[in-house]
A and B are shown apart, each in its own frame.
Chain A
Amino acid sequence: MKLLVIEDEKALSDSICDYLGNESFMCETAYDFNTAMEKTALYDYACIILDITLPGGSGLEILKELKKENKADGVLIISARNSLDDKVYGLKAGADDYLTKPFHLPELGARVASIIRRKSFGGMNIVQFDALILNLADKTVSANNIFIDLTRKEYELLLYFISNKNKVISKSAIAEYLWGDNMDLADNYDFIYTHIKNLRKKIMQNGCPDYIVSVYGMGYKLIIPLIK
C-alpha cells in the first residue's frame, strides 16, 4: 500500500514519511503542486496527506482533480489554517478528514489508519490486535470471546494505540487526543497515568498480556510482548 505526502515543508514531509512508512506502507513525497498533480494522476494511493498552500497552486485544486477523475484515494488535509470554515470547505470538496498544524504524528497516524480502514477495506468494522478484537461499529472490545468493559475514553485510547502500534506516543499527544487542545493541561500528566493503568488492568484481567509499556516517563507504546 502506498501513501503520498504532499507538503512543501520538506522537514515536516520527511517526518511524516519516517513515522508512517514501514514494511507494509510505502511513503512517497511531493513538495510542489506540479509533482503532486503528476503523481496523483499516475498512481493510486491508499491515502494522500495534503497541504493546502503549496508552491505552484492550491491543494484544493488537487483534491478537485482527484474527485473529477473519480479516484478512490483517501485524502487527509493538513493545514496551518484552523477555522471551521476552512474545515467545512475542505470536507465538502471531498476530503476525508482535516487536521490542523501543528499536530502530533500519532494523531496523524490514527487519522490515516481510520481513512485506510474505511477506504481500502470497504469500511471494515473489525480491528484486530493480537488477541484484542475491536468492533468499530459498536465500539466494543473483546478478547478470547469475552467483552472487556471499557469506558468511552479507554476505548478511544486503545484504538489510538492500535493505530500507532509499536510507536512511542508522548503523554502530551495522548492528552491532546483525549481532552482536546483548547485546554491548558500542561500542569501535569498524572491523570494520564491513572487512565492508562486502568486500561492495562482491564485488558490483563481478561487473560491478555500487558501490551502497553511505559517509555522513560515520556510516553507509552503498544507492543506484542516477545515473551509470554
Chain B
Amino acid sequence: MKLLAKYNRINLICTVVIFLLACIAFSFLLRYVLINQVDEDLKIEQNEIISYTQKYQRLPEIVKVHDQQTEYTSIENPFALQKPAFTTSKLYNNYEQEDELIRTLTFQIKAGSQWWLISVAKSLEGTDHLIQLIIIITTITLLLMLAATFLINRFVLQKLWRPFYNTLESINNFKLGSSEQLGFTSTDINEFSMLNSALQQSLTKAAQDYILLKEFTENASHELQTPLAVIRSKLDLLIQDEHLTAQQSESLQASYNAVQKLSRMNHSLLLLTKIENRQFTETTELNLKRLIEEKLNLFKELWINKNITVTTALNDAFIMLHVSLADVLLNNLISNAIKHNTDGGKINIDLKQGQLTISNTGNTASLNTALLFTRFYKAGFTSENNGLGLSIVKQICEVSACSIDYGFENALHIFKLKWQFKNE
C-alpha cells in the first residue's frame, strides 16, 4: 500500500470519527442550551403569573399566543411540597396537524382561597428546526473541510514526497558495473537530502569496490598467463625426451590436462570480466547462418566421432554483435550440445530471423534453470567442464540485448537465443 494512501486512510478515518462524535456532542449541547432558553421563557411567564396573582389575588386572563399555551386547573389541596417541574412531552397539534414536542412547566399557586395547578407550555418546534438547520450547516462545513484536507494532503504530500520517488527511480535505474554516473535530483527537504547523500555514498562505494574487484580479476588472470605459459612450455619440452617411462608419460599427460583446464578457466574468467567491462562495444552486422555453418564444419570430427546426427534448418538471419562475442557464443552453445550429448544422439539447429534454437539429447533430465547460467554450475557429471560456458553466453546476451532461455521438452535440452534485429 502506498504511504500516501495509507496516510490518507488513517487521516480520513480519524477525521470522520472525530467529526461524528463532535456532531453528536454538538447537537446534545445545542439542544440543552435551547431547552434552557425555553425554560427561562417559561419561568418568566411563571413569575408574571405569580406576581399578577399576588397583586390582584386572582389569576390573569389567558391570552392565546401562537406558541404558548397556559392552562389552569383548580385543585382541592396543594400537593405536598410539590416544586415547579419541567416536562417534555409530545402533543398533537391540531393547527399544524402533526405531533410536536412541547415543554411544559407546571406549578401550584393560591389565588384568593383557591389552589390552582398551572401549566405553561411552549412548543419546541422552532428549537428543533434551529437545531436541524445548525446541524446541516455544520455537516456541510465539515464535509467541505474534509474534502479540502483530503485534496490538500493528496497534492501537498505528493509534492513533498516527489524527491523520494525521484531517488527511488534513480536507484532503480542504477546498475552496478555500468559506466553511468548515479545522479540524484537535489531537494531542500533535509530528510530526503540526507537519504540521497547516504545512498550516493554507499552506492559509490559499492561501484568502486566492484571496479576494484573486476580489476583484480582481470589483473589476476593476466598475471596467471605467464606462469601458465612457463608450465606449458616446460611440458612441451619434457615430452621431447625420448627416454620417458610409461609412468612418467602418464604423469605428464595428467599435468597437461590440468594445465589445459587451468588455462581455459583463466581464459574464460578473463573473457567474462572483459564482457562485463563492456570492452566489446564494436558491433557489426553478422550473418549467423554463415557463422553456424562454419562452426558445424569446424566441429564436424567431434560430432561424427560421437555418432551424433545433426539436423539443421538454417534461414538467413542477421544479428548486430561483436565478431569475437558471436564466435564465443556459437562456440559455447554448439560445443555444449556436442559435449553433453549421448553417443548416437541428436542435435537440431533452427535458425530464423530473431531466433536461434539449439536442442540436443543428453544424459540428464532437465537442468536446474535457476543455476544453469551461474558461474561454476556443473550438472554433476563432467568434471572436465569448468562451468563457465553458459555464464559467458548469458553475459554476452546481457551486453548485446539478446536473451537466452533454456527448456526441456521431449527429452531434448533446448536453448533459445532471441534478439531484435532492426532492418535499417
What is A's interface to B at a CB cutoff of 8 Å? Answer: 9, 11-12, 15-16, 18-19, 78, 80-85, 100-106, 153, 167-168, 170, 172-173, 179-187, 190-191, 194-195, 215-219
Could you write out 5 A-B pairs with CB less than 8 Å apart?
A9-B230, A12-B229, A18-B237, A101-B228, A217-B249
A195 partner residues in chain B, CB cutoff 8 A: 301
Which of A15, A85, A106, A217 is most buried by chain B, counting CB atoms within 10 A of its CB?
A15
The verdict on A216 contacting B335 (CB below 8 Å), with A12-B229, A168-B239 known, is no
Query: When chains A and B are docked, how far (Å) is the Cα of A105 from the Cα of B382?
Result: 28
Contact B331 A12 (CB under 8 A): no
B302 partner residues in chain A, CB cutoff 8 A: 179, 185, 191
Contact A215 B229 (CB under 8 A): no
B384 partner residues in chain A, CB cutoff 8 A: 184, 186-187
B239 partner residues in chain A, CB cutoff 8 A: 168, 170, 215, 218-219
Which residues 314-340 of B sit at the A interface, judged by CB distance below 8 A? 323-324, 327-328, 331-332, 335, 339
Query: When chains A and B are docked, how far (Å) is the Cα of A129 from the Cα of B328?
Result: 36
Contact B225 A80 (CB under 8 A): yes
The stretch that binds A, out of B44-52, B98-106, B255-263, B344-352, is B255-263
The verdict on A106 contacting B305 (CB below 8 Å), with A80-B222, A172-B257, A186-B260 known, is no
Which residues 188-244 of B sit at the A interface, judged by CB distance below 8 A? 222-223, 225-226, 228-237, 239-240, 244
Contact B225 A102 (CB under 8 A): yes
Which of B231, B301, B327, B332 is most buried by chain A, counting CB atoms within 10 A of its CB?
B301
Query: When chains A and B are docked, how far (Å) is the Cα of A106 from the Cα of B235?
Result: 11
Q: A9-B229, A19-B236, A180-B331 are in contact. List 13 more A-B contacts (CB 8 A).
A: A12-B229, A15-B234, A19-B240, A80-B222, A85-B279, A102-B232, A102-B233, A170-B239, A170-B256, A172-B260, A179-B298, A187-B382, A219-B239
Which residues 254-289 of B sit at the A interface, judged by CB distance below 8 A? 256-257, 259-261, 263-264, 267, 270, 274, 279
Query: When chains A and B are docked, how far (Å) is the Cα of A9 from the Cα of B223?
Result: 12
What is B's interface to A at a CB cutoff of 8 Å? Answer: 222-223, 225-226, 228-237, 239-240, 244, 246, 249, 252-253, 256-257, 259-261, 263-264, 267, 270, 274, 279, 298-299, 301-302, 304-305, 323-324, 327-328, 331-332, 335, 339, 382, 384-386, 389
Task: Describe B's contact surface by its main secondary structure.
Answer: helix
The verdict on A190 contacting B328 (CB below 8 Å), with A12-B226, A103-B232, A184-B264 known, is no
Which of A105, A182, A191, A218 is most buried by chain B, counting CB atoms within 10 A of its CB?
A182
CB distance from A198 to the nearest CB of B (A): 10
The verdict on A81 contacting B233 (CB below 8 Å), with A183-B331, A218-B239 known, is no
Contact B301 A184 (CB under 8 A): no
A218 partner residues in chain B, CB cutoff 8 A: 239, 249, 252-253, 256
Query: When chains A and B are docked, how far (Å) is the Cα of A173 from the Cα of B259?
Result: 12
Query: When chains A and B are docked, how far (Å) is the Cα of A103 from the Cα of B229?
Result: 6
Query: When chains A and B are docked, how far (Å) is the Cα of A29 from the Cα of B328?
Result: 36
A18 partner residues in chain B, CB cutoff 8 A: 237
CB distance from B379 to the nearest CB of A (A): 14
Contact A15 B233 (CB under 8 A): yes
Contact A167 B240 (CB under 8 A): yes
Contact A81 B331 (CB under 8 A): no
Query: When chains A and B are docked, how far (Å) is the Cα of A12 from the Cα of B386?
Result: 26
Contact A181 B267 (CB under 8 A): yes
A80 partner residues in chain B, CB cutoff 8 A: 222-223, 225-226, 229
Query: When chains A and B are docked, how far (Å) is the Cα of A18 from the Cα of B240?
Result: 11
Identity of the chain B residue whose Cβ is nearest the Cβ of A198 in the assembled complex:
B301
Query: When chains A and B are docked, how far (Å) is the Cα of A19 from the Cα of B235?
Result: 11
Contact A101 B225 (CB under 8 A): yes
Identity of the chain B residue whose Cβ is nearest the Cβ of A183 in the assembled complex:
B335
Contact A186 B252 (CB under 8 A): no
Identity of the chain B residue whose Cβ is nearest the Cβ of A166 in the assembled complex:
B240
Interface residue from A173, A181, A183 paired with B236 (Cβ < 8 Å): A173
Contact B263 A102 (CB under 8 A): yes
Which of B230, B231, B332 is most buried by chain A, counting CB atoms within 10 A of its CB?
B230
Query: When chains A and B are docked, how far (Å) is the Cα of A106 from the Cα of B253?
Result: 16
Query: When chains A and B are docked, how far (Å) is the Cα of A84 from the Cα of B326?
Result: 13
CB distance from B46 to the nearest CB of A (A): 112
B328 partner residues in chain A, CB cutoff 8 A: 182
Query: When chains A and B are docked, how far (Å) is the Cα of A181 from the Cα of B332?
Result: 11
Contact A216 B236 (CB under 8 A): no
The verdict on A102 contacting B301 (CB below 8 Å), with A170-B239, A215-B239, A217-B249 known, is no
Contact A170 B236 (CB under 8 A): yes
Contact B236 A105 (CB under 8 A): yes
Contact B389 A184 (CB under 8 A): yes
Contact A82 B305 (CB under 8 A): no
B229 partner residues in chain A, CB cutoff 8 A: 9, 12, 78, 80, 101-103
Interface residue from B223, B252, B253, B279 paired with A83 (Cβ < 8 Å): B279
Contact B236 A187 (CB under 8 A): no
A100 partner residues in chain B, CB cutoff 8 A: 225
Which of B232, B274, B386 is most buried by chain A, counting CB atoms within 10 A of its CB?
B232
Query: When chains A and B are docked, how far (Å) is the Cα of A183 from the Cα of B335?
Result: 6
Query: When chains A and B are docked, how far (Å) is the Cα of A191 from the Cα of B260?
Result: 18
